[in-house]
Chain A
């Protein structure tokens, strides 16, 4: 549980070396997305422990706490990280407001911005499968079951309807490839 949270904090902290308690608190203070992500990780941890044969009596009383915290993140920050999403360690939410992530698989070291909607609208449908180190720009929408390759950059306001190959910059509505072999490491 704590390794993925450490990776998330390192995305905000951005400095090598040991992570002190003050660094953790400072990162939580400056980045509201990190708070929402911690609440999401807490919910995933509850789900994992509940599956254990002796775990559920300890976990059931903690669920109201999770619901309260998730409602806080949803209403105060506008960040809705649904439990149906699978988010790998090292996720970073840049601004807050209108972020919705559900029914999707997100690889490690990804970046998401405000007003980005990832995941299918229907409860049963499968959303996008996003690779490693993908930058998802502000106001972009990924609803369909598409594959996004490693190191791709979903541009600002893009509506992705087709598969995106790795290391590509896509832009527009519907999204088209604006540049191949695009290096998004400056953005991440």
Chain B
């Protein structure tokens, strides 16, 4: 049977598999760059933010640099990486400890202006965030998780972790987690890989991978949910999207 004309015109959205020297879609799970180095982590952050901001725009060095200027969500994760790196240097000590103490002063000023005053958000300096985490541009995020995995997307007005002086343990967030706006996550809990917290969830218990959680007194909505679409598109109505998946 001959294919219709409109079928032929459709360009496949899926990108080809990983090849050497080819930029891979950051949410595809094929990204095999080395973890742990700050440059590659920042590069992954920019990739994931770029896909969310401009889904149909080609990724060029100029557009990635421009995104760094226009996106406060990218700026706060970048400043956190700098502050975290200085914190590790300070903690590990060594001969140059005085240098890291001095350098932490301009880093603190950068954090105060661009992170705290600009977006009203705060990220704890000892929080280990893997490369490729996206924070919302609207800010108001208080983030104190122990760990956060790659591919995690965090919405606006989100609180993760509780205050320091009350003797409480902090949550660990897995990879590819989508946390909607107005969520609170606290206590010594783990969030499994690929979990989805719909907007307005208050979570204080561990959840397995791939589930959808909703509500204050959290309830399980769906299991084995694929949240790639939610993480890719910033303007998607999450509750409608999940409801449509439930119907199938």
Contacts and interface: CB of A to CB of B under 8 A. Distances in A.
Contacts of B215: 173
Contact of B159 (A77, A138, A159, A172): A138
A139 B159 contact: yes
B136 interface: no
A97 B140 contact: yes
Contacts of A158: 216
Given A139-B184, A156-B202, A115 B167 contact: no
A172 B201 CA distance: 10
Contacts of B216: 157-159, 172-173
Interface string B196-212: 00000010100000000
State the 3 A-B residue pairs at the shortest beta-carbon distance, nearest first: A157-B202, A173-B216, A97-B120
Given A139-B182, A139-B202, A172-B217, A76 B142 contact: no
Interface in B137-179: 139-140, 142, 157, 159, 163, 166-167
B121 interface: yes
Contacts of B117: 76-77
A173 B217 contact: yes
B217 A115 contact: no
B122 interface: yes
Given A157-B184, A172-B202, 5 more contacts: A32-B116, A97-B120, A114-B142, A115-B157, A172-B217
B135 interface: no
B159 to A, nearest CB: 5
Nearest to B215: A173
A156 B122 CA distance: 18
A160 to B, nearest CB: 12
Interface of A: 32, 76-78, 94-98, 113-115, 138-139, 156-159, 171-173, 186-187
Contacts of A97: 120-121, 139-140, 142, 157
B186 A98 contact: no
- Interface residues of B: mostly helix, strand, loop or mixed? loop
A76 B140 CA distance: 11
Contacts of A78: 120, 140
A186 B167 contact: yes
A106 B116 CA distance: 27
A125 B68 CA distance: 45
Nearest to A176: B217
Contacts of B184: 138-139, 156-157
B157 A98 contact: yes
B34 to A, nearest CB: 35
14 contacts: A95-B122, A95-B142, A97-B157, A98-B140, A98-B157, A138-B159, A139-B202, A156-B184, A159-B216, A171-B217, A173-B215, A173-B216, A173-B217, A186-B166
B120 A94 contact: no
Contacts of A157: 184, 202, 216
A94 B202 CA distance: 19
Nearest to A111: B163
Given A95-B142, A97-B121, A139-B184, A115 B159 contact: yes
Interface in B86-130: 116-117, 120-122
Most buried by A among B121, B142, B167: B142
A114 B216 CA distance: 17
A77 B120 contact: yes
Contacts of A114: 140, 142, 159
A35 B120 CA distance: 15
A96 B120 contact: yes
